[in-house]
Amino acid sequence: GTTGTTGIKLAEPHLEDVLSSAGINVEYTRAERNTLYYRDQDGQEVPVLDLVGGFGSLILGHNDPEIVAHARELLAAGTPIHAQFSPHPHANRVAAELNRVIHRETGDTEPYFAVFANSGAEAVEAAVKHAELDRGLRLAALAEELAAHRDSAREAVAAGARVEAAAFESAGTAPEDGIEGLIEAVERSNDRQLARPPLFLAPEGAFHGKLMGSVQLTHNEAFRLPFSALAAQTRFIPVDQPDALAKTVREERAVILDLVTEDGTVRLTERPFPLFCAFVLEPIQGEGGIKVIGEEFAREVQRVCQEIDCPVVVDEIQSGMGRSGAFLASSLIGLRADYYTLAKSLGGGVAKTSVALIRQDRYRKEFELVHSSTFAKDGFSSQIALKTLQLLEADDGRAYRLAREKGEKLLSVLELIRADFPEVVKDVRGRGLMLGIEFHDQAGTASPEIRAVAEAGFLGYVISGHLLNEHRIRVFPTGSSVNTLRMEPSIHLDDEEIERIRRALRAVCEIIRDQDGGRLVHA
Ligand X SMILES: Cc1ncc(COP(=O)(O)O)c(C/N=C/c2cc(O)cc(-c3ccccn3)n2)c1O
Residues lying near ligand X in the complex (CB under 6 A)? 55, 119-121, 124, 207-209, 282, 286-287, 315, 317-318, 343, 476, 478-479, 486
Report, in Å, the least distance between residue 121 CB and ligand X: 3
Q: Which is nearer to ligand X, 120 or 349 (CB)?
A: 120
Residues 6+ apart with CB under 8 A from 169: none
Closest to 204 measured CA to CA, from 243, 244, 250: 244
Q: Which is nearer to ligand X, 121 or 237 (CB)?
A: 121
Which residue lies nearest ligand X, judged by its C-beta?
Answer: 120
Q: Which is nearer to ligand X, 445 or 483 (CB)?
A: 483
Report, in Å, the least distance between residue 30 CB and ligand X: 22
Q: Which is nearer to ligand X, 318 or 442 (CB)?
A: 318
Report, in Å, the least distance between residue 381 CB and ligand X: 13
Q: Which is nearer to ligand X, 166 or 225 (CB)?
A: 225
By the 8 A CB rule, do 329 and 431 touch?
A: yes
Instruction: Report the DSSP beta bridge partners of residue 339.
Output: 313, 358
506 SS3 class:
helix
Report residue 289 CA to chain centroid gap: 13
Report, in Å, the least distance between residue 352 CB and ligand X: 8
Report, in Å, the least distance between residue 284 CB and ligand X: 9
Report, in Å, the least distance between residue 36 CB and ligand X: 16
Instruction: Report the DSSP beta bridge partners of residue 112.
Output: 359
Q: Which is nearer to ligand X, 51 or 60 (CB)?
A: 51
Closest to 283 measured CA to CA, from 490, 434, 162: 434
What is the side-by-side order of every strand in the sheet holding 425-431?
425-431, 434-439, 481-487, 476-478
Q: At 9, give phi and psi (nearest 5°).
A: -80, 130
Encoded amino acid at 421, one letter: F
Measure the CA–CA gap between 21 and 514, rounded to whole angstroms: 24
Report, in Å, the least distance between residue 103 CB and ligand X: 23
Ramachandran region of residue 114, left (φ > 0), alpha (ψ -120 to 50) or beta?
beta
Q: Which is nearer to ligand X, 95 or 121 (CB)?
A: 121
